């Protein structure tokens, strides 16, 4: 498949509750466009799962190593979740810059809020399932965590989904009905925001954008939230 030939190389932040399809989305983007994207591998102090590989899924480090990196100001953002640290290192962002690729980042809502306050100017995309029941089914199908842990993740996921579809929080919200469709919609968002003409979107009405085919094709409500870009929130029953 051809590469995207993106002009601005703005980092792409993919966010969403556990089980929404973030990892699948990122993996498919890199497989389809290997010369356009580079995954920013986060650091974490949580234990490695049986199917995870060090430096591919996460940089698994001890709490002491993470604390040392914090003291050396090596992270652009880091958070504590369920007793474990997660962080994005400046070195990972630099690797993407040197390779002239767009950096793909998988971070939680706390991380998104911190990144939006930095000067890296990320495009923030929220992935959500069609329903909460589908999300619960996906989490339970993993069979890697206790019932208490699953219930904790579901409680957090509920809060994240409410936050994710709130006005002004993300540049785009995409429903994961189908992996291929989800990835194509993410690509459409990336193309829009990573082009030199993206700033003109604020001067264009939602009707003009829809008619011109510049907004991905599903039922939506479009809101202009200055000084950010147009946010397109899918509205599914």
| Catalytically annotated residue among 48, 49, 140, 149 | 49
End-to-end CA distance of the chain: 34
Residue with tokens 């051809």: 2
Cα separation, 232 vs 209, in Å, equals: 11
Q: Are 6 and 36 in contact (CB under 8 A)?
A: yes
Cα separation, 60 vs 81, in Å, equals: 15
153 belongs to the catalytic site: yes
Cα separation, 52 vs 183, in Å, equals: 22
| Catalytically annotated residue among 10, 38, 101, 153 | 153
Q: Are 81 and 64 in contact (CB under 8 A)?
A: no
Which residues, at least 6 apart from 71, have a Cβ–Cβ distance to it below 8 Å?
Answer: none
DSSP state of 14: E
User: How many CB atoms within 10 Å of residue 148?
Assistant: 8
Cα separation, 79 vs 70, in Å, equals: 11
130 belongs to the catalytic site: no
| Catalytically annotated residue among 48, 140, 142, 149 | 142
* Catalytic center residues: 49, 142, 153
């Amino acid at each position: 498949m051809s590469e995207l030939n993106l002009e601005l190389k703005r980092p792409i932040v993919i966010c969403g509750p556990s089980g929404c399809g973030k990892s699948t989305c990122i993996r498919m983007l890199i497989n389809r466009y290997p010369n356009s994207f580079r995954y920013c591998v986060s650091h974490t102090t949580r234990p490695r799962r049986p199917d995870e590989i060090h430096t591919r899924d996460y940089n698994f480090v001890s709490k002491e190593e993470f604390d040392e990196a914090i003291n050396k100001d090596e992270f652009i953002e880091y958070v504590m979740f369920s007793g474990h640290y997660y962080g994005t290192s400046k070195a990972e962002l630099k690797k993407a810059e040197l390779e002239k690729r767009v950096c793909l980042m998988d971070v939680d809502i706390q991380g998104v809020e911190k990144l939006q306050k930095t000067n890296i100017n990320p495009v923030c995309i929220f992935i959500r399932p069609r329903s909460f029941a589908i999300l619960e089914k996906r989490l339970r199908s993993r069979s890697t965590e206790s019932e208490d842990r699953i219930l904790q993740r579901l409680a957090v996921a509920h809060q994240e989904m409410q936050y994710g579809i709130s006005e002004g929080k993300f540049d785009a919200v995409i429903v994961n009905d189908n992996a291929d469709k989800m990835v194509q919609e993410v690509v459409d968002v990336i193309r829009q925001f990573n082009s030199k003409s993206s700033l003109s979107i604020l001067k264009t009405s939602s009707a003009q954008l829809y008619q011109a085919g510049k907004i991905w094709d599903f039922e939506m409500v479009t809101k202009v939230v200055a000084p950010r870009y147009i946010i397109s929130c899918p509205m599914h029953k």
